[in-house]
Chains A and B, each alone.
Chain A
Amino acid sequence: MIEVEALEVTWGRGARAHRAVKGIDFALPAGGTFGLVGESGSGKSTVLKAIAGLAPVTGGVIRLSGRPLGARRDKGFRKSVQMVFQDPYGSLHPRHTVDRVLAEACAIHGLDRREARIVRILDEVGLGPAFRFRYPHELSGGQRQRVAIARALIVEPALLLLDEPTSALDVSVQAEILNLLLDLKEAHGLAWIFVSHNLAVVAQMCERVAIMNNGRIVEEVAARDLARANLREPYARQLLAASRGFDRAVARTLVTYD
């Protein structure tokens, strides 16, 4: 589905250049699920942005279905790769109804049977026809995130880029959205790259997980190895230990890794 090879991303130039991603590799088969976890500044979101064409790639190659991506993403790419962002409050146009948001996605990609598609996708994300003509301010955070997912899926992509899609939601709503994504994956055979700072969420949603720090992948493991704390790298082990709630003994051992 997608291969990332020696990817580098540098924001800015000259003295103010910041290397956010410093050469990372991973591959994701069709229908596969891959998680990127790390702390803020680790470069995990930048990797997603680089794939989507929203970050300056300064080295390496990204291949989609075997074809290297150029500097610009064409319409074919946007049809097969869609993104869902963290903040459902910021990612929907405040003065467009749900219907208009979804119809616009169809129009851009020249999809037919818009009416039928909109009705079906609203049903699939668990909103139903009652939500079709509402504005974002009339929806809760969880409902907005469902609209964002519907907008991404209405063009029938093969790959979803999910950037902390549940971090702004309460845990009870998070569980509903994660279940929804798993159901949709089963129904449509989607692949996804799931970015989160929460190890348990990534382990729930992905087959393979890469732990990032400071622009690099520190360790890549199967989700079940993460669950069994089967990790080799000291940074990965520390991140896992720190995410298990407060522990005085762990707090004493924390070190900074570069």
Chain B
Amino acid sequence: MVDAAPPLVEVEDLRVRFPTPRGPVEAVRGVSFAMGAERLGIVGESGSGKSTLGRALLRLVPPPGEVAAARLLVDGIDVLRADSRTLCDLRGGRASMVLQDPKFSLNPVMRVGAQIVEALRRHRRIGRREARERALAMLEAVRIREPLRVFHAFPHELSGGMGQRVMIAMMLVAEPRLLIADEPTSALDVTVQMQVLAILDDLVAARGMGLLFISHDLELVASFCDRVLVMYAGRIVETCAARDLASARHPYTRGLLGCLPKLETPVRRLPTLLRDPSWAEGA
């Protein structure tokens, strides 16, 4: 990454708050980071705020959630001050998002091809014929063996791995600069997961995109990403290069890694995580 290039994402003091009957709950509590054309992983347990953070970047936090930040720029767009037209160009155009389960993200009553074409034509001024050709090329790029058959298929006719590839095709067809992937392979079998990640990796590298990879799986993130942010209770408690995750310093990160069962070095009892209240306050 060249230092002179402006960052793809710039976040400063991001806060997301949800009102509840028992008072407001802050899901994200003062997060700051910047990323460029890299593979950045965000790891944390359920409730750590990692998904909410991903949604906030595209202003997709559902009401009554409130998002506030000193600075929230995605590809140069001030997300919090953008009008709805700019937001529409941002979402799916400059930055797009892949979620865990394609079953809930694809329109069940629309053929796959039509959905990809719609996503493309919403963001790029091109004719039907060209859009169709690009959609087919994209299905081929995610290594679907019979693109034409899948183009005419309904989502329920596809397996989980195929559905997720279609989802990735749809999200990348408009050639965004940033892809936010929230647990994109967690519903898939390990071999399918590996294939989908390889496709994602190739596309990100070939197009010079940024990838924000949100996951609960530390080992996967360590093996797949360049850099990792570890979240706990709505804050980033540690940032490190993915290859250095094994020698992470924060006790929470070390604790999480420690309580995973390991094939090579079995132990009779697994270490457990003793949570220190000071982690939630953090530095």
Residues in chain A within 8 A of chain B (CB atoms): 39-40, 170-172, 174-176, 178-179, 182, 197-201, 203-204, 223-224, 226-227, 238-240, 242-248, 250-252, 254
Contact = CB atoms under 8 A, between A and B. Distances in A.
Interface centre among B45, B260, B262 (most CB of A within 10 A): B260
B46 A40 contact: no
A227 to B, nearest CB: 5
Interface in B232-283: 255-256, 259-264, 266, 268-273
A67 B3 CA distance: 73
B144 to A, nearest CB: 15
A179 B268 CA distance: 9
B260 A203 contact: no
B252 to A, nearest CB: 9
Given A170-B216, A175-B272, A224-B266, 12 more contacts: A170-B45, A170-B46, A174-B259, A179-B270, A182-B269, A203-B266, A227-B264, A227-B266, A238-B191, A244-B263, A251-B194, A251-B195
Nearest to B224: A246
Interface residues of B, number: 35
B190 interface: yes
A205 to B, nearest CB: 8
Contacts of B197: 246, 251
A39 B45 contact: no
A172 B272 contact: yes
Nearest to A201: B261
B133 to A, nearest CB: 28
Interface string B23-47: 0000000000000000000000110
A175 B201 contact: no
Contacts of A248: 198, 201
Interface in B217-243: 218-220, 222-224
Contacts of A204: 261, 266, 270
Interface centre among B160, B216, B266, B268 (most CB of A within 10 A): B266
B256 A242 contact: no
Interface string B185-226: 000011111110110010000000000000010111011100
Given A204-B266, A251-B194, A172 B222 contact: no
B256 A171 contact: yes
Nearest to B257: A171
Contacts of A239: 190-191
Contact of B45 (A171, A179, A240, A246): A171
Given A178-B270, A242-B191, A172 B256 contact: yes
Q: Which 6 A-B pairs have the closest CB atoms?
A: A245-B223, A175-B259, A39-B189, A251-B198, A172-B273, A204-B261
Contacts of B223: 244-247
A214 B153 CA distance: 25
A254 B260 contact: no
Contacts of A242: 190-191, 193-194
Contacts of B268: 182
B222 A200 contact: no
B104 to A, nearest CB: 17
Contacts of A223: 266
Contacts of B259: 171-172, 174-175
B270 A245 contact: no
Contacts of B201: 246, 248
Contacts of A172: 45, 255-256, 259, 272-273
B160 to A, nearest CB: 8
Given A243-B190, A246-B220, A178 B261 contact: yes
A246 B194 contact: yes
B216 A175 contact: no
B181 to A, nearest CB: 13
A248 B197 CA distance: 9
Contacts of B272: 172, 175-176, 179
A181 to B, nearest CB: 11
Given A200-B260, A200-B262, A227-B263, A175 B273 contact: yes
Interface in B103-139: none
A171 B255 CA distance: 10
B22 to A, nearest CB: 14
B270 A40 contact: no
Nearest to A226: B263
Contacts of B216: 170-171
A227 B201 CA distance: 29
A141 to B, nearest CB: 8
B190 A39 contact: yes
A140 to B, nearest CB: 10
Contacts of B220: 245-246
B269 A171 contact: no
B149 to A, nearest CB: 18
Contacts of A170: 45-46, 216
A39 B191 contact: yes
Contacts of A246: 194, 197-198, 201, 220, 223-224
